[in-house]
Amino acid sequence: MDKASATTNVHEADAFSRKAAELVARHRIDPAALVERGADELALREIPLGRGAYVRGRLALLMAVAGAHDTRVVFASTPTGTVAYVAGHVSDLDVVEVMYTSLHAQAAAQMSAERRATGAATQRYRRSFLFGYADRVAKSFDDVRIAAEAAAPATVDRTGRSLAQLERGRRVEAFVDQQFGRVRTARSAAGAEVTGWSAGSDAAKRADIGRARLDGRRSLGPG
């Protein structure tokens, strides 16, 4: 990830960051690594999502990253805006926070350059772009996981690995219940514009998964 963030060559950054994502996925299916991380402290990580039209899109992106790394997301409205609470093992939370921050910055940099005939049309397009981007990111993480599992050595005890993963997942679920009790399901987000969604999905295919910093790129405002 350091190499990806240090290069100015988009293709090099993509190669480095995708390799980082593959290494994370491979580490996550290794029984020995799972046992080693089994004693990870369970914790909550707060991630501000802001206010305005892009909150649900940011949440969708965060959930795409969180779901790929065995963490759970609960969100709430506060006087300062919407806040997501990500629950999981500390080692997983670290990965989720870095990847979400990086992917959001990449999406925001592309969204900020988009303009339509009116402010409202621009906002609808950008919002749809972010939803499409999040959906494609989730599929990309699935592809990386499947590839890592297919490349796992034949000596890997797949049953043992699955049990270890299930046990970590059960601990996270119990932790979420303990911290939050009964959680309400949020109402569905409003529909997305097709062209914006497609553009966001295409952009996510080129996303540098794993980049930690994107110097010089503008971020998207709260609206």
Residue with tokens 């999502």: 49
- Asked if residue 142 is part of any domain, the answer here is yes
- Asked if residue 223 is part of any domain, the answer here is no
Cβ-contact 50, 81 below 8 angstroms = yes
Cβ-contact 80, 189 below 8 angstroms = no
- Asked if residue 63 is part of any domain, the answer here is yes
> Considering its fold, how many domains does the chain have in total?
1
Determine how many CB atoms are found less than 10 A away from the CB of residue 69: 22
- Asked if residue 212 is part of any domain, the answer here is no
Q: What is the pTM of this model?
A: 0.72
C-alpha count within 13 angstroms, C-beta hemisphere, residue 43 = 13
Q: What is the DSSP letter of 50?
A: E
- Asked if residue 24 is part of any domain, the answer here is yes
- Asked if residue 83 is part of any domain, the answer here is yes
Measure the CA–CA gap between 198 and 38, rounded to whole angstroms. 39
- Asked if residue 39 is part of any domain, the answer here is yes
- Per-residue tens of pLDDT for the chain, all 223 residues: 566 666 666 567 667 766 776 777 766 655 555 555 555 789 999 999 999 889 999 999 999 999 988 899 999 989 989 999 999 999 899 989 988 988 888 788 878 877 888 888 888 888 898 999 899 888 888 888 777 777 765 544 444 445 667 788 889 999 999 998 877 665 566 556 666 656 666 666 656 554 333 344 333 444 4
Exposed/middle/buried for residue 113 (C-beta within 10 Å: 0-12, 13-18, 19+): exposed
- Asked if residue 215 is part of any domain, the answer here is no
Apex 7 CA angle, 215 and 104, nearest 5: 45
